[in-house]
């Protein structure tokens, strides 16, 4: 209870960017003292999230429409891999080539143990943007509840990098027009708010689909799907 009150007071009195810096640091390097326990709990709860369920359904529907024998996906900010695991379970008949980008070394170690067949890059967003690790076209690249703690410059650079090799990009985040109006989330919580559709149009994406998250939260109220036609 005391921790909850402290958290609310912290958010009430600090600037948004300071809060986001703290959240970003937490994303990249959680406390290793209790990380093993947190990873296992997060993994064990992967079937419980309605937002994760709709994300997996959206991606699976598009994977099943692919005409080629092998289909490829990349998750940016995979953590310990709950989304990837559910996608694999939902598509047992597909030959999936899977990449994961995750800055947390403890999460990468856990993910490698649980899903040894996938290719994991233990790097952060800056290393992802500056590197040339992905050398093939990816059918679907997705990111779920990560960019809300990443500033505009780094988020745009990351999406620009994704666009170089991704036919479809799926973003779960705080989005405008989920209910036909401007998002209210940015006024109520200390998170970054990004013009995803504007950026993606500039990068050559022409088809957009917007889905409402069944359980809107601080980091995600909807899912945007952008495809190059």
- pTM, two decimals, is 0.86
pLDDT in tens, 24-57: 666 666 555 667 788 999 899 999 999 999 999 9
R_g of the chain, CA atoms, integer Å: 17
Q: How far is CA 201 from CA 115, 181, 196, 205, 223, in A?
A: 34, 20, 9, 5, 16
Tens-digit pLDDT profile for residues 116-167: 999 999 999 999 999 998 999 999 999 999 998 888 899 999 999 999 999 9
Buried b / exposed e over 122-161, threshold 16 CB at 10 Å, is bbbbeebbeeeebeeebbbbbbbbbbbbbeeebbbbbbeb
Structural domains of the chain ordered from first start? 2-227 (3.40.50.150)
* Residue showing tokens 């090799």: 165
For 92-112, what is the mean pLDDT? Answer: 95
> Which two three-digit tokens encode residue 37?
């326990």
Q: How far apart are CA 67 and CA 220, in angstroms?
A: 31
The pLDDT score that the predictor gives to residue 184 is: 52
Secondary structure letter of residue 172 according to DSSP? E
Token pair for 198: 């504007």
């Amino acid at each position: 209870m005391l921790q909850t009150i402290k958290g609310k007071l912290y958010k009430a009195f600090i600037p948004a960017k300071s809060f986001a810096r703290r959240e970003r640091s937490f994303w990249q390097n959680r406390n290793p003292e209790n990380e093993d326990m947190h990873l296992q709990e997060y993994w064990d709860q992967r079937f419980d999230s309605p937002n994760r369920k709709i994300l997996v359904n959206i991606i699976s529907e598009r994977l099943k429409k692919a005409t080629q024998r092998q289909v490829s996906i990349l998750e940016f900010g995979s953590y310990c891999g709950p989304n990837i695991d559910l996608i694999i379970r939902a598509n047992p008949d597909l030959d999936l080539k899977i990449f994961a980008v995750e800055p947390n070394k403890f999460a990468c170690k856990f993910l490698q143990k649980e899903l040894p067949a996938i290719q994991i890059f233990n790097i952060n967003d800056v290393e992802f943007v500056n590197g040339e690790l992905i050398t093939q076209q990816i059918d679907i690249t997705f990111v779920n509840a990560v960019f809300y703690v990443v500033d505009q410059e780094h988020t745009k650079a990351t999406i620009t990098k994704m666009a170089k090799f991704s036919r479809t990009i799926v973003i779960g985040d705080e989005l405008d027009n989920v209910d036909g109006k401007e998002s209210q989330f940015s006024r109520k919580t200390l998170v970054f708010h990004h013009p995803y559709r504007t950026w993606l149009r500039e990068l050559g994406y022409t088809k957009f689909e917007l889905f409402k998250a069944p359980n809107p939260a601080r980091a995600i109220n909807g899912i945007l799907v952008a495809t190059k036609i």
